[in-house]
Amino acid sequence: MSALAELKRHLRPGQVYRRKDLTRWSNAVDRHVRQLVEEGRLEKVSAGVYMAPRKTRFGAAPASPQKLVESFLGDDRFLMVSPSAFNGLGVGTTQLHNEPVVYNRKRHGRFKLDGRMYDFRLRSTLPKRLSKEVLLVDLLHNLDRLPEDKSAVLPRALAKAGEMDRGRLARAVKEFGSARAKRLLAPLLQPA
């Protein structure tokens, strides 16, 4: 079996691969990747990151954002947040955002992956999953970046924080809170 055929055998539709991942199955990875891109068996989504397209009856389906980001970072320790999710907290935010924020330990900046922009931000600690408490802490951290009037959103956000489970909110602040979020939430988290 040729090295190119061996590489093709390992590609799975919808999966995302880093160039270095493909070296396991190819003795001439750059040439083989170029051939596979020309054949349409791989699509370049970013520098050194490729996707094996998944065909649907509507055409090629994009890779999941989680897989794209994980391959781009080479790490599964990240938290992806859409600022549009702030709208679900009921604190007066209504804007829709098209650029997810990816908190991670490796990259900082805005990067285009598979035609979509992602805002990568470095954080030393990350919660394992997104909860309403983590989302509220993130909202307080990003208050100045929101298009809404912060003088209207802030009191509602603090009132919402007062309704949340104090233990989970304290954990979210400890794991993920910026200095601003810690300062704003400190009065609510004081022992009674």
Residues 9-35: pLDDT tens digits? Answer: 889 988 898 998 888 888 888 999 999
Q: Are 155 and 175 in contact (CB under 8 A)?
A: no
Q: Are 14 and 61 in contact (CB under 8 A)?
A: yes
Are 71 and 86 found together in one domain?
Answer: yes
Are 147 and 76 found together in one domain?
Answer: yes
* Model pLDDT, residue 14: 85
Are 11 and 97 found together in one domain?
Answer: no
Are 71 and 119 found together in one domain?
Answer: yes
Residue 1 has pLDDT above 80, yes or no: no
Residues 113-130: pLDDT tens digits? Answer: 888 899 999 998 888 889
* Pairwise CA distance, residues 93 & 74, whole Å: 33
Percentage of the chain surpassing pLDDT 70? 99
* Pairwise CA distance, residues 140 & 27, whole Å: 50
* Model pLDDT, residue 83: 86
Domain hosting 159: range is 66-189
Residue 3 has pLDDT above 70, yes or no: yes
Structurally, how many domains does the chain consist of? Answer: 2
Residues 163-192: pLDDT tens digits? Answer: 999 999 999 999 888 889 999 999 988 876
Are 75 and 58 found together in one domain?
Answer: no
| pTM, full prediction | 0.79
Neighbours of 146 (CB within 10 A): 16
Query: C-alpha angle with apex 29: 26 to 34, nearest 5 degrees?
Result: 125
